[in-house]
A and B are shown apart, each in its own frame.
Chain A
Amino acid sequence: MGRVLNIAIASVGGQGGLTLSRVLAIAAVLDGYSVRTGETLGMSQRFGSVVSYVRIGDRVFSPTFSDGEADYILGLEIIETVRALRLLKSGGVVIVSDVVKPPISASLSREVYSRSKLLEAIGGSVSTVVVPAQKLAAEVGNPRAANMVVLGVFHRLQSVLSSSSIKKAISEVVPSKWLESSLAAFELGVNYLKT
């Protein structure tokens, strides 16, 4: 791979954005790539805006990238995905879980975010895959594994990382209790675009 693949993960704290970035990093190393992720964590346990940066290539140095440099945005929530769009480069792709979690500040000012308007705003501008990740994850008994469904869709579109390395990485990161359902959620994501 001659260049560096830039991935931004946009989520609400607690949705599994950090887990997703770690899975990508481990899989990248298993496949022999150099990797850097940039995380910000530790300001609250949950429910804040979170952006993780993942960079995969032959030699990677910077853990972050700037506006307009993301090849992919993996969104675990639609509002956070809209917030992160500034990172997307021309021709970049958005994969977003079909979930809206309005922030408190919006509810307090009776501001309403319509799911369809937000999706229109994203999809009208850039290539977008909207995936009912939470619903699919619930089908395998683990609604928290929406991040793994999104990972599956990503893998279907961008095969830089091998499926076996991703699965091994999932088994490194996810507690054994949730492993089987997480792998099943990943497969549902992989197959989502086939159907």
Chain B
Amino acid sequence: MVNILKAPEGVRIALMGNEAIARGLVEAGVSVVSGYPGTPSSEVIMTLHEFGVGSEIYVEWAVNERVAFEVAYGASIGGARAAVTMKAPGASVALDPVVSSAYGGVEGGLMILVADDPGPHTTQTEQDDRWLGFLAKLPVLSPSSPQEAKDLTVASLDLSEEVKLPVILRTTTRVNHTVGDVVLGPVRSVKRASAVQRDLPRFVRAGMVWNYERHKWLNNQLNRVEEAFERVSAIRNRVEGSGRVCVVTEGSAYNYVTEVLREVDSEIKVIKLVLLYPPPKKFLRETLSGCEKVLVIEELDPYLEFVTRNILSEVDVNTVIYGKSSGHIPMEGELNTKIVRSALHSTILTERAAREVPRAAELGQLIKVAPRPPPMCPGCPHRNMYVALLLGIARAGYRRSEVPVFGDIGCYALGVQPPLEAIWTEHSMGASISMAMGLKVAGYDKPVVAVIGDSTFFHAGIQPLIEAIHKQVDVLVVIADNSIVAMTGHQSTPAWSALESGRRAKSIDIESLVKTVGVDHVEVVDPYDLDAMVKAFERLLKKPGVRVLISKHPCALVEARAGGLRVRHRVVEDRCTGCLACIRATGCPAIYFDGSKARVDIEDCLGCGLCARFCPYKAIEVVSYG
């Protein structure tokens, strides 16, 4: 297998965008990479771990994005090259130190990868982080392909050192998770910390006069960015084609524009931006002058449209601008060739489609099929926890509708799907505990429950727990501890003592931690012991104070991989009546209804046996598995 981090310059290979970014970090000589897992950004650090970067480079997951950024920033002010990776909501978590870093600036290059998710495919909002440029006053670069993602990773670090500011590489899912052909570049030597300056006005934000002066410095640096970017980057802002009819685009949208324009003969000038902030005014003034009509094609907010409109107000106020404001490009979701084709044809293209657009197959009377939203896996310990919680609420004398369950971010949020429909909210990292507390202090008189995963607890749950304990609010906090960051691809948590990189670490024990901050009652129960779990819920729901139930069992996929499966289950046909109690109680995706009876797909069963407990006819039995 090709080691993509060590393969020589000039080799052309298929890389996913995130793998290309990982390669770019090695090419640029970074010595510190930190981040927090989040789709679609996670594979950058996972790739660095998978292929091994040697002892010269520190590559580790941090407890959350702001800590990750601060680690990278500390490295950078000492002259090291550093990078940090996160998904869009993670950028919000890191925002405080990111904004301040623009005032202190950097010494070694510092890249902040922010992976947005138009669609959305896997993110709670369609937050558009191109605006971070305006907000944080930091340069923003945007790639369209895995090749550009790699090359702009290198350029980000070079530009960062050139203008002494952190640089944001803003990507979208269709760049991060696209595999494409990439030509590798040369690998530079690792740039480690040399010396840190004791420069108080620069690095101490406690002096208001200093801050005012640094703000002036920052604005001055921003004025230098366009020229510096054009000088250091192999991938530049560019124009393709010519004429008075223009398209302004960037990122993934550029790909759809290029494909659609290949279908037509009209002369169109495509202005493709790579530097998104500060807006490259010189380039835009030059390239927009002479445009009579402009269609701005971009995903999510009308960011480029705002930038283009500003420039055109200086260049030519008579230019007609189409885009989101005119209703030709949608404000939500991701684009595709179909949307872009129709926008082009309804605005600036006068010819009819020159080439025939592919026709869809005649599909006759097709059966409409049921949706398949992502479920919790077979054997998932979170499923047992939720089943026990719902039973425990009843045992404690409450109706389900009286006990709100505040969810959090991770696989256990999939418990929202039928049949369990166990959680009532899923908001932001750590919010389960604080929102449950909020409802309680507002006078809600029945029990409230917060469910939070182990990694999410480390990330943003500890402070909410301290808040609840300090204010003595009655909440039951369930820490669903599967000892891993499962949803994003099985990354390490602070409880691990041996990390992906090979580094030895000090394991942080959740039980001792919650005891130390003064929780009133703590219990640790294995949710595979369903009876014990139901009893624990019943007991804790009746108690006052802050109660923590640590539901502790490893992720079933990891357990199956590590230990091998000893048992699986099957349905004994003549005993099964087809009542489907097994499916209604568990929602396990390994069980299905064949028209008369339940069946277990033996390939998918992970042997937890939860279904067998709920079969009134004892029709589900264990089979040993070799």
Contacts and interface: CB of A to CB of B under 8 A. Distances in A.
A163 interface: no
8 contacts: A25-B179, A37-B178, A45-B487, A62-B259, A85-B361, A104-B375, A104-B587, A112-B594
Contact of A42 (B40, B338, B588): B40
Interface stretch (B150-158, B221-229, B314-322, B410-418): B410-418
A33 B13 CA distance: 11
Interface string A119-149: 0010011100000000000000001000000
Contacts of A21: 179
B289 to A, nearest CB: 27
The bracket for how many chain A residues form the interface is 35 or more
Contact of A45 (B362, B372, B486): B486
B31 interface: no
Nearest to B2: A172
B9 interface: no
Contacts, number: 220
Given A44-B414, A63-B174, A29 B360 contact: no
A90 interface: yes
Most chain A Cβ neighbours within 10 Å, of B14, B252, B488: B14
Contacts of A16: none
A40 interface: yes
B27 to A, nearest CB: 19
Contacts of A45: 377, 411, 486-487, 557
A61 B258 contact: yes
- Range class of the B interface residue count: 35 or more
A104 B360 CA distance: 30
Interface string A72-103: 00000001101101101111100000000111
Point out which of A14, A47, A67, A86 has the most chain B C-beta atoms below 10 A from its C-beta. Answer: A47
Given A104-B587, A107-B593, A63 B178 contact: yes
A63 B180 contact: yes
Nearest to B411: A44
Contact of B336 (A40, A66, A86): A66
Interface in B354-371: 358-367, 369-371
Contacts of A121: 364-367
A176 to B, nearest CB: 9
A12 interface: yes
B184 to A, nearest CB: 12
| Residue of A21, A33, A104 with most partner-chain B CB within 10 A | A104
Contacts of A33: 181
B179 A48 contact: no
A39 B122 contact: no
B592 A62 contact: no
B332 interface: no
B14 A67 contact: no
A35 B371 contact: no
B372 A48 contact: yes
B360 A68 contact: yes
Contacts of B371: 49, 103, 105
Contact of A47 (B337, B366, B377, B603): B377
Contacts of A90: 358-362
A42 B13 CA distance: 24
Interface string A26-48: 10110001111111111111111
B428 interface: no
A186 B338 CA distance: 34
A19 to B, nearest CB: 12
B489 to A, nearest CB: 7
A106 interface: yes
B592 A102 contact: yes
A101 B365 contact: no
B487 A44 contact: yes
A82 B2 CA distance: 36
Given A29-B14, A125-B366, 13 more contacts: A28-B181, A34-B180, A35-B181, A37-B179, A46-B589, A48-B372, A65-B336, A67-B338, A69-B337, A104-B583, A110-B593, A121-B366, A124-B364
Contact of A125 (B12, B39, B364, B589): B364
A18 to B, nearest CB: 10
Contacts of A88: 360-361, 363
B377 A46 contact: yes
A192 interface: no
Nearest to A106: B370
Interface in B16-61: 16, 39-40, 42
Which 9 residue pairs of A and B lie closest in terms of their CB atoms, listed nearest first? A68-B360, A42-B39, A44-B374, A48-B374, A66-B338, A103-B372, A61-B255, A63-B178, A107-B593
A6 B588 CA distance: 34
Contacts of B121: 40, 42-43
Interface in B95-137: 119, 121-122
Contact of B174 (A38, A103, A106): A38
B370 A105 contact: yes
A86 B258 CA distance: 24
B583 A108 contact: yes
A118 interface: yes
A38 B121 CA distance: 12
B589 A104 contact: yes
A117 interface: yes
A141 B179 CA distance: 30
B358 A89 contact: yes
A61 B145 contact: yes
A36 B594 CA distance: 38
A126 B373 contact: no
Given A29-B13, A108-B418, A121-B366, A38 B177 contact: yes
A172 B1 contact: yes
A21 B180 CA distance: 11
Interface string B514-525: 000000000000
Interface in A1-31: 12-14, 21-22, 25-26, 28-29
B362 A125 contact: yes
